[in-house]
């Protein structure tokens, strides 16, 4: 469980500019905030880009 959470935290941090090198400290609050903001923008873009199937009648 912890390994999966760490993977997701690092993925969000990379969206915020974290380089994820072996010698780097764990991601901080600013990088996480930037990553979450970027993730929200990406999710909104996906919702906008989804194509709704046409409704069929009869």
Over the chain (58 residues), the average pLDDT of each successive run of 10 is 88 96 96 98 90 72
Q: Where are the domains of the chain?
A: 1-31
User: What sign for the dihedral angle of Cα 11, 12, 13, 17?
Assistant: positive
What Cα–Cα distance (Å) separates residue 4 from each residue in 7, 9, 10, 49?
Answer: 5, 9, 10, 28
pTM given for the model: 0.77
The pLDDT assigned to 49 comes to: 83
């Amino acid at each position: 469980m912890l390994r999966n959470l760490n993977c997701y935290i690092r993925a969000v941090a990379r969206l915020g500019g974290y380089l994820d090198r072996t010698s780097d400290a764990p991601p901080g609050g600013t990088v996480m905030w930037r990553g979450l903001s970027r993730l929200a923008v990406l999710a909104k873009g996906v919702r906008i880009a989804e194509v709704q199937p046409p409704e069929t009648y009869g």
